[in-house]
Structure 1
Amino acid sequence: MKKLPVIFILISLVATLFLHSCEGESCPPNAMAYAKFTMVNQHGTAVAPTVPTSVIGQTTIDVIVYDTLENGDIIEKIVEDSVINDTLINKESNMSTFKVPLSYSDQTSFIINYNGEQQDYITIKHRNIPYFMSVDCGTMMFHEATEVTHSYGIDSIVIVNPNIDNYEKENFRIYFTVADNQ
């Protein structure tokens, strides 16, 4: 009888140690996947705009529009409509690299605004890859870039690494043609 409390305490202690070891979950500190861009000149050397530069994300969604025909029939059309502009980077000076999140749709568009004087448009088509980490950590969304288009002052954009995940590595290289000062 006297040994029963000691056995109970030992069993409780062992059970507590086992339960404590099950709780230690190592979730990554960064569960978001960011696309990393590097701005370079035609020679591959990093360049940075000297004017305050902003990056604005554009989200587009499909909207149903009802159209009335001449005979009175009403048809519905699905059209793409740009509804949200969100400033991701606001008036940053001398940045040669930047990171931005991608949309959960299959296409993400950005506007690079150079001090309100000039704008470049970038559109990335990508495949979304949901990644289940664990019950405690949840899921993450990774992306695979398949195509990138641009406009205006950008010479070209190269997909350096199409796999966009929560590791901070270069994914895109933006080439600008700049005057040689030599």
Structure 2
Amino acid sequence: HKMIIDAGAYPSPLGYGGFPKSVCTSVNECMCHGIPDSRELKDGDIINIDVTVYLNGFHGDTSKTFFCGEVDEASKRLVKVTEECMLRGIAACKHGVSFKKIGRRISEHAEKHGFGVVEQFVGHGVGRVFHSQPIIYHQRNNMPGQMVEGQTFTIEPILTMGSSSIECDMWEDGWTAVTTDGSLAAQ
């Protein structure tokens, strides 16, 4: 929070829809929107830190999953393939290309490596508004729409150790989304 404020920006999530913190921190089985707390991270944990700031009239949204200490090979592979999926989605972007190509590229790569793509959460337009059109599906889909030069949107797939049909539980805080079976998730 302090670093964002000191840079002259504002943390976009703070107060957004009642979100109580400046960033999202999603640990292990948390798919996304985890609320930072005082828990101590342990050797072998993975944590996604999702940061969005408002600066000079625009929102910028980024996230990355990090390793805590020594992480097992399966967790390393999940995080690596998740990042590769994001990059494959980005590589599909070009004026006139159908948005569904992003989801197809991500799904193909995830499935090739035995991971599921979480379907409950999507990418979104970002810029002057925190969340806007277009909606970006990270799985195979038949949604209409084509990319237009100058559009800004997020591509933020979430992969799990389980299948793409993995269920999601929402904690009582109304934000923290976790895998029902406790399997790891990376964004």
TM-score, length basis structure 2: 0.24
Bigger Cα Rg: 1
More helix by share: 2
More strand by share: 1
